[in-house]
Copies of this chain bind each other. A is one copy, B any other.
Amino acid sequence: MLADLFELPYYAVIFSTIRTEGDNGYEAMAEKMANLAATMPGYLGAESARSDIGITVSYWKDLESIRHWKYQSDHVMARDLGREQWYKCYRLRVAKVERAYGF
């Protein structure tokens, strides 16, 4: 459930959120978007956790892959719903992974 280390360099999209109350269709859409992202060119993997806040980090081959995913049409609709209904606030950071290790 941890993402592989992948070949450097690659990109991480760090998406941290605070949810609104109630589900309002969020869980089903989150699963749908995770599955859809995994079919996109340049997608490498993702990690996700939620307690007081949610953090999802998705990993991508390059900036072009991230841009492509950002403007995928179903994802654009989901992002609009996110801003309108599901998230009190969020931060999205795009970062170039320069070093990675683990066990």
Contact = CB atoms under 8 A, between A and B. Distances in A.
A12 B49 contact: no
- Chain A interface category by residue count: 35 or more
Given A2-B90, A96-B96, 9 more contacts: A2-B17, A12-B14, A12-B93, A49-B49, A49-B52, A51-B51, A90-B102, A94-B98, A95-B95
A30 interface: no
A22 B89 CA distance: 33
B47 A49 contact: no
Chain A facing B: main interface SS = strand
Contacts of A98: 94-96
B89 A16 contact: no
